[in-house]
Amino acid sequence: MSTPLTGLGIDRPILAAPMAGGPSTPALAAAVVARAGGLPTVATGGVAAPTDVADVLRAGADAAMVGIALLRTDESGASAPQKAALADPAFDSVLIRRNVHVRGLVQGVYYRDTCRRLAREAGVNGWVRNLHNGDVEAVFEGSPGGVQRLVSWAAEGPGAAEVTECAVAAENPEGDRDFRVLDDAPAA
């Protein structure tokens, strides 16, 4: 027999999926409510439509919290690819995009080729290119973990590189579907 949540010092159970955007299923709601010992319960994660709210409330949750579902509204400012991904069941994770600008000895050291190989291995999309001033610019789009691995690598570069500066800026995802080496950027 399981211990009621009140016996564990819990005063407000929140039903959350193991990862952001995952489902607070009616079965999960029913299981937590059964152990809540009369405490109010809130279901969150994957509650994206009125039917989802109704399902978790029917299962016994006292309230449902929506968040990501609101990103699909016109007022959110989210990009069209972000909104499309939120509505597509094939997208089951968070997507981020980072623009990276590196300085130092970063051309002629296989920076772009190594970057492409590592990005593809990490499942990260985007592009990399040489700039006319000797710098390199890259864009990484994918899971937070994959993108962070590439950003960390970019600050070091391949073995022969000598990175002296690495600037990183967040951007809205654009829906890149592959990682490619672009032609060198034209001189300004």
Phi/psi at 121 (nearest 5 deg)?
-65, -35
Give helix 144-154 / helix 111-122 axis angle, nearest 10°. Answer: 160
DSSP 85: H
Sheet holding 63-65, edge to edge: 14-16, 42-44, 63-65
Tokens of 95: 């997507």
Contact at 8 Å (CB) between 63 and 40? yes
Contact at 8 Å (CB) between 140 and 168? no
Active-site residue numbers? 112, 130
Give the N- to C-terminal CA distance of the chain in Å, as an integer. 71
